[in-house]
């Protein structure tokens, strides 16, 4: 096995995974949700807020606030601060930056937080104001939002590789089964493949159960050095490797692969593990077809074999390939930028053995991925991380 030239994440750990239970709509502000997540971190870690000396924030709905405004709002005095506007890739990007900050001792305890509110009109406003290319060259075309943009990608992908709606639907159906064990998931009714196939079309070939439900919520975790966690008596997961890539494969006329495909070798080399070693996988599931693409790009199968892969595996908690164990965004809800954190936070709970009703037995090695920012015709940002629990 070749070795990575990057500096290893020796002694970098993550602790205190926090999920503030989601609400379909909230009259509270994003700052309120972020505040609840910070309070959750402090309570779970048994630290004082003043022990947090680094902060990394992601949100679509904070209005004019950035991370620095939040320090005063929450009474935090930090010596390291970042605001990450990378949508679905925010959690992996936050983790990467925070990891290097604590490793270099620029900070000792970094709180990584994402939270968004969902007022009745806020999702439409987010769609309308997403990016300049979106404003100029996408939104005025039917205003279908991400649904229409991903519909184009999905249609091309499905046609190119002979993927059927039933193949894609297996992912959504398995995640709903997982969500039924997660008391905080917004979707509480079982979903059959027949119901999936019979759902109303939203933007062909995207149908209702291919779409996430926008909601309010927050997710968070702490990043620190191993010694800090030990001194606090905190159970922690070790960070083994990460990748991040933006605007990959710009010459592909349509997106059939994400940036992971460019860096996946490095991801496993740096971690010193292979895809088969993983106990749990949490992909970024804004649409199940994007998850299928990740199965290929993250090395679980070759390009074009995603459909065969999902046919051959059971993606539920008790299955042979436990995936998106909390139900993912498709069934738990998409709380804006917190959607980027959902998989990583659930993955941390899994390897720490604290996932409760969704716990996969003996899970110790996990992978979480992120994907974000459909700026124009494709998702631009991708990332992934591999981490290990104390039992490994």
Partner 1 sequence: MIDPIEPPKRKNPLLRTRLPTAPPRPRSRRSHGFTRAAAEGRFMLQRCEACGSFAYPAREACPSCLSADLAFVDAPRRGVLLAETTARVPSDVYFRERAPWRIGLVKMDCGPTIVAHLHADCSEGAAISMSLQLDKSGQAVAFARPEGETPNMADDRQWREMTADPKFRRVLVTNGRTVVGQEAVAALKAAGAKTVFVGVAEPWRPFAGEKLLRGQDGIEIVALDAADEKSAADLAADIGGKVDILVNTTEHVRPGGLLDRRGTSIARDEIDQAYLGFINLAQAFGPAMRMRGADGINNSVAWVNILSVYALANWPAFGSYSASQAACLSLSHCLRSELRPGGVKVMNLFTGPVDTEWFQTVPPPKVAPRAIAQAIVSGLRSGLEDMYVGDVAEEIRQRLAANPKALERELDR
- Chain contacts with partner 1 (rule: CB under 8 A): 123-124, 127-128, 132-133, 135-145, 147-148, 151-153, 155-156, 159, 200-206, 250, 253-254, 376-377
Least distance between partner 1 and beta carbon 92 (Å) = 25
Least distance between partner 1 and beta carbon 38 (Å) = 31
- Which of 76, 199 has the CB closer to partner 1? 199
Residue 212 DSSP code: P
Least distance between partner 1 and beta carbon 376 (Å) = 6
Residue 359 DSSP code: P
- Which of 95, 380 has the CB closer to partner 1? 380
Name the burial class of residue 352, with classes exposed (0-12), middle (13-18) and buried (19+) by CB atoms within 10 angstroms of its CB.
buried
- Which of 27, 137 has the CB closer to partner 1? 137
Q: What angle do CA 17, 315, 288 make, to 5 degrees?
A: 85
The answer to whether the Cα torsion of 281, 287, 288, 294 is positive or negative is negative
Q: How many CA atoms lie within 13 A of 184 on its CB side?
A: 24
Least distance between partner 1 and beta carbon 154 (Å) = 8
- 110 bridge partner residues: 54, 223
Least distance between partner 1 and beta carbon 379 (Å) = 14
Least distance between partner 1 and beta carbon 339 (Å) = 18
Distance (Å, whole) CA 217 – CA 219: 7
**Angle of helix 288-297 versus helix 260-271 axis, rounded to 10:** 60
Least distance between partner 1 and beta carbon 125 (Å) = 9
Confirm if 250 and 40 have CB atoms less than 8 A apart. no
- Which of 48, 200 has the CB closer to partner 1? 200
Least distance between partner 1 and beta carbon 253 (Å) = 5
Least distance between partner 1 and beta carbon 94 (Å) = 27
């989601």: which residue's tokens?
Answer: 22
- Which of 203, 382 has the CB closer to partner 1? 203
Containing 282, the helix (H) or strand (E) segment is: strand 280-282
Distance (Å, whole) CA 171 – CA 168: 6
- Which of 141, 162 has the CB closer to partner 1? 141
Distance (Å, whole) CA 145 – CA 197: 22
Least distance between partner 1 and beta carbon 67 (Å) = 27
- As given in the structure block, the two tokens for residue 108 are 């000792």
- Which of 21, 144 has the CB closer to partner 1? 144
- Which of 143, 302 has the CB closer to partner 1? 143
- Which of 125, 312 has the CB closer to partner 1? 125
Q: Cα(first)–Cα(last) distance of the chain, in Å?
A: 20
Confirm if 179 and 300 have CB atoms less than 8 A apart. no
- Which of 144, 390 has the CB closer to partner 1? 144
Write the DSSP string, 287-355.
SHHHHHHHHHHTTSS-TT-HHHHHHHS--STTSSS-BSTT-HHHHH-B-TTHHHHHHHHHHHHHHHT--
């Amino acid at each position: 096995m070749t070795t990575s030239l990057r500096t290893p994440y020796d002694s970098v750990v993550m602790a205190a995974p926090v999920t503030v239970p989601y609400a379909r709509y909230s009259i509270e502000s994003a700052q309120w949700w972020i505040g609840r997540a910070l309070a959750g971190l402090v309570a779970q870690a048994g630290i004082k807020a003043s022990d947090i000396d680094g902060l990394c924030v992601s949100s679509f709905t904070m209005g004019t606030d950035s991370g620095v405004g939040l320090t005063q709002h929450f009474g935090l005095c930090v010596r390291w601060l970042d605001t990450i506007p990378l949508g679905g890739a925010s959690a992996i990007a936050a983790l990467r930056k925070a990891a290097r900050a604590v490793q270099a001792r620029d900070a000792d305890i970094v709180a990584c937080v994402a939270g968004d509110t969902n007022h009745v009109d806020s999702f439409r406003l987010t769609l309308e104001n997403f990016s300049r290319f979106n404003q100029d060259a996408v939104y005025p075309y039917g205003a279908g939002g991400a649904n229409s943009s991903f519909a184009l990608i999905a249609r091309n992908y499905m046609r190119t590789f002979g993927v059927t709606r039933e193949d894609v639907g297996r992912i959504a159906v398995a995640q709903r089964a997982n969500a039924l064990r997660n008391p905080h998931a917004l979707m509480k009714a079982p979903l059959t493949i027949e119901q999936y196939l019979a759902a109303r079309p939203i933007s062909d070939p995207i149908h209702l159960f291919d779409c996430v439900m926008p909601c309010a919520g927050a997710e968070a975790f702490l990043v620190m050095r191993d010694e800090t966690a030990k001194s606090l008596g905190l159970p922690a997961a070790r960070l083994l490797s990460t990748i991040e890539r933006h605007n990959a494969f710009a010459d592909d006329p349509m997106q059939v692969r994400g940036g992971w495909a460019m860096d996946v070798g490095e991801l496993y080399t740096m971690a010193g593990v292979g895809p088969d070693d993983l106990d749990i996988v949490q992909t970024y599931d804004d649409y199940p077809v994007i998850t299928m693409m990740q199965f290929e790009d993250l090395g679980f199968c070759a390009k074009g074999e995603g459909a065969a892969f999902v046919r051959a595996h059971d993606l539920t908690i008790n299955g042979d390939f436990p995936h998106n164990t909390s139900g993912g965004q498709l069934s738990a809800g998409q709380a804006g930028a917190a959607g980027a954190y959902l998989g990583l936070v659930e993955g941390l709970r899994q390897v720490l053995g604290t996932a409760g009703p969704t716990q996969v037995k003996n899970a110790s090695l996990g992978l979480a991925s992120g994907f974000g920012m459909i700026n124009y015709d494709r998702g631009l940002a991708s990332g992934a991380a591999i981490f290990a629990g104390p039992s490994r």
